[in-house]
Structure 1
Amino acid sequence: MDREQLISKWLNNELNNQELEAFKKLEDYEDLIQLNKALLSFKSEEYNTAEALDQVLNTINSSKKTTTPWTKYMVRVAAVLAICFSLYYYTTTLDTTYTTDIAEKTFIELPDQSVVNLNAKSTLVFNKSDWKNEREVNLSGEAFFKVSKGSSFHVKTKTGTITVYGTQFNVKQREQFFEVICYEGLVGVTYNSQETKLKPGDSFLILNGKFIAKEKEKNLEPSWLNNESTFKSLPYKQVITEFERQYGVNIKLLNIDENQLFSGSFTHNNLDIALKSITVPLHITYSKTNNTITLKGE
C-alpha cells in the first residue's frame, strides 16, 4: 500500500494492525501526528473540501518531479495540511443525531442549555458547530422542549416549522399527524406558509391533512413525560400506533372501526393495565400470542 493510501486510511481510522505498523514506519510519521494534534484546535468558517482535494493531488503529483530533501519535506507538509484541514471541516460540520427506539425515551441538553425530552421512536438532529449562529433542530416523532432565552429557535419537521417565542412546548409529528401544544410563553407554527401563534394552553393539530380545533390544554406538561399517553377525541388507530410504539408489540384489529374517536389514556409501565384502558371503554376483547395482540370488537 502506498504512502497516500496509508495516510488516508489513518485519517479515517481504518488502519488494521499490519497497516498501522507500516504507517508508523513512514519517515514523516511524527510530523503527521503533530500536525493532526495542532489542527484539532483550528477552526475554519469556510473551507472548500473539493478544492483541498485538488491541491493534495497536485502536490502529490508534483512531488514526483522534485529531488531535494527540503522540497520533498515541504511537499509532504503541504499535503498533510490540506488533508487535515479537509478532515477538520468535515468533522465539525457533521450533525449530532439522537434516536430513540420503541419503548425508549431520552433526555437531551442542547449547546445553549435548552433541554429536550425525546419520546419513543423519534429522532432529533442539530449542528453543534453552527449553534451560536442558528439555533435549529430537525424533529421526526415527538419531543417536549424547554428553550433557553436567546436568539430565534426553530424546530423543523416535514409537516411544518415551529418558531419559539417562549420556552415550553410539545411537538408531535407522525404519519398524517402533526400537533404542537404551547405550555409556556409563545410559539409560532408555520404550516402551508401561514404562521399561527400559540399562547399557553393553545394547540395546533393537523390530522390527515385537516386542521382540528381542540380544547384548551389544562396540564402543565405532556402526560408522556410521566409515562402515560393521553388522547382526546382522536381516531382509535392513533391510539393503537402509539401503544405499539411504547410497548414494542404488533396489534391486529378484528371487527373494529379504527376511525372511531377515543378519549382516554394508557400507562407505559404495565401492559395488561394499559390494554384494559384502551379496550374496556369500547367493549373490546383481546388475546396475546407472543409479541402479537389481537383486539376483537363485538
Structure 2
Amino acid sequence: MKREELITKWLDNNLNNEEFEAFKNLEDYEDLIKLNSYLQTFKADSYSVDKALNSTLSAIKSTKKQPKQWLKPLLKIAAILAICFGLYFYTTTLNTTINTAIAEKTEIELPDASSVLLNAKSILAFNKNNWKNERNVTLQGEAFFKVAKGSSFSVITNAGIVTVYGTQFNVKQRENYFEVICYEGLVGVTHNSQETKLKPGDSFLIIDGKKIALEKENASTPSWLNNQSNFKSLPFKTVLAEFERQYNVTFSLINVNKEELFTGTFPHDDIDKALKLITLPSQLTFSKNKNSIILKRE
C-alpha cells in the first residue's frame, strides 16, 4: 500500500493490523505520531490555509541563520503538517452521497439517528463529519423522512427548502415537479422566499411553476413505500415519468395528451398489470419491444 494511503487510513482510524505494521515501518512514523496530539485539537471550521502557510514560512525564515542541518528536518515536518491538514480538511468537508438506480430503493440513517427511505433514481447527500455545525441534507428525487425525536435539519432541493421540526414527511423533487406531504408533526416549506407550514395531512405541490391545491392526505405513509404509485388528478406525464423510473423503460406517444389529468395507481413489481392500470382509464393501447413502450390513442 502506498505511503499516502496508509496516512489517510491512519487519520480515519481505519488501519487493520497488517496495515498498522506497515504504517509503523514508515521512516517518519515517529513524526506522524507526535503530530497526532496536535491534530486532536485542530478544528476544521477554524483552519486557514493562509495562516498555516504564513506560519510555516515564518518558521523556515527564522532558521536561515541557524546551521543548515536544522533546515531539512523542519521542512520535513512542515510538509507532513501540510499533508495532514489537507487530508483532515478534505475528510471533514467531504459529503456522504447515496444514489439509487432505476427500480431501486434504499434506507439511510442520518447522524442524528433519523432515517431516510430513498426512492428510485434519487440522490441524497449530507456531511457526516460536520453534522453538528451544518445540519443540511440535499435531495434530488424522492425520499421519505422519519425524524428522530428532538432532531432538526433542512432538506435542500433545487425547487425549495424543507425545514424539519420533528416529523414524518415525504419530499419529491423532479423536473418541474416539487411536492412535500406531512404525515406527522410539522414541516416548513420555503419556495420563492415564502414559507408554508404543513400539519399532518397537508401537502404542498408545485407543477411547472404553478401551485396546485390538493385534498387532505389520509394515508399514514407514501404509497411508494409499499411498491405502489398513486396519483390524484395529476398530469399524465408525471405518471409516465414515475413508470420509467420504476421499470427502466421509455415511452413513445401517439395521439396521447401528456397534460391530461390522471387518477389511479400502478404497482412496481408487475409491468403488465401496471401498463393496463395506466392505459385502460384513458382508453389507450400499448405495445412493448424490450425496454420501449408505445402508447397510442385510436
Shift of 1:87: 1.4
Contact 2:123/2:140, CA 8 A, preserved across alignment: yes
Residues 40-94 of structure 1: per-residue CA shift (max 9 Å, x gap): 7554142123554566688789999975444422331232123212211111111
* Alignment-derived partner of residue 19 in structure 1: none
Evaluate the alpha carbon distance shift between residue 252 and residue 65 of structure 1 in structure 2; reply closer, same or farther with a 3 A threshold. Answer: farther
Q: What SS does the corresponding residue of 1:149 show, helix, strand or coil? A: coil
Residues 10-66 of structure 1: per-residue CA shift (max 9 Å, x gap): 7679xxxxxxxxx99x98443465467667755414212355456668878999997
In the alignment, the residues of structure 2 paired with residue 283 and residue 27 of structure 1 have an alpha-carbon distance, to the nearest angstrom, of 73
Shift of 1:134: 3.2
Residues 152-181 of structure 1: per-residue CA shift (max 9 Å, x gap): 321111111111223100000111100000
Contact 2:63/2:70, CA 8 A, preserved across alignment: no
Residues 191-213 of structure 1: per-residue CA shift (max 9 Å, x gap): 11111111100101011111100
* Alignment-derived partner of residue 280 in structure 2: 280
In the alignment, the residues of structure 2 paired with residue 59 and residue 86 of structure 1 have an alpha-carbon distance, to the nearest angstrom, of 19
Greater shift in the superposed pair: 133-142 or 71-80: 71-80
Residues 109-129 of structure 1: per-residue CA shift (max 9 Å, x gap): 000100000111111111112
Q: What SS does the corresponding residue of 1:89 show, helix, strand or coil? A: helix
* Alignment-derived partner of residue 269 in structure 1: 269
In the alignment, the residues of structure 2 paired with residue 296 and residue 56 of structure 1 have an alpha-carbon distance, to the nearest angstrom, of 71
* Alignment-derived partner of residue 291 in structure 2: 291
Gapped runs of 5+ residues in structure 1? 1-5, 14-22
Evaluate the alpha carbon distance shift between residue 27 and residue 153 of structure 1 in structure 2; reply closer, same or farther with a 3 A threshold. Answer: closer
Gapped runs of 5+ residues in structure 2? 10-21
Shift of 1:130: 2.1
Match runs of 1:3-14 below 5 Å: none
| 2:29 corresponds to 1:30 | yes
Match runs of 1:149-228 below 5 Å: 149-150=149-150, 152-228=152-228
Q: What SS does the corresponding residue of 2:172 show, helix, strand or coil? A: strand
Evaluate the alpha carbon distance shift between residue 103 and residue 35 of structure 1 in structure 2; reply closer, same or farther with a 3 A threshold. Answer: farther
Q: What SS does the corresponding residue of 1:76 show, helix, strand or coil? A: helix
Greater shift in the superposed pair: 161-170 or 256-265: 161-170
Evaluate the alpha carbon distance shift between residue 199 and residue 76 of structure 1 in structure 2; reply closer, same or farther with a 3 A threshold. Answer: same
* Alignment-derived partner of residue 3 in structure 1: none
Residues 239-290 of structure 1: per-residue CA shift (max 9 Å, x gap): 0000000111111111111111100111111111111111112111111112
In the alignment, the residues of structure 2 paired with residue 53 and residue 62 of structure 1 have an alpha-carbon distance, to the nearest angstrom, of 14
Q: Aligned letter for 1:243?
A: F
In the alignment, the residues of structure 2 paired with residue 246 and residue 281 of structure 1 have an alpha-carbon distance, to the nearest angstrom, of 20
TM-score by length of 1: 0.84
Contact 2:151/2:165, CA 8 A, preserved across alignment: no
| 2:77 corresponds to 1:77 | yes
- Aligned positions, number: 283
In the alignment, the residues of structure 2 paired with residue 94 and residue 242 of structure 1 have an alpha-carbon distance, to the nearest angstrom, of 31
* Alignment-derived partner of residue 102 in structure 1: 102
Q: What SS does the corresponding residue of 1:167 show, helix, strand or coil? A: strand
Shift of 1:150: 2.9
- Calculate the aligned-residue CA RMSD, in Å: 2.9
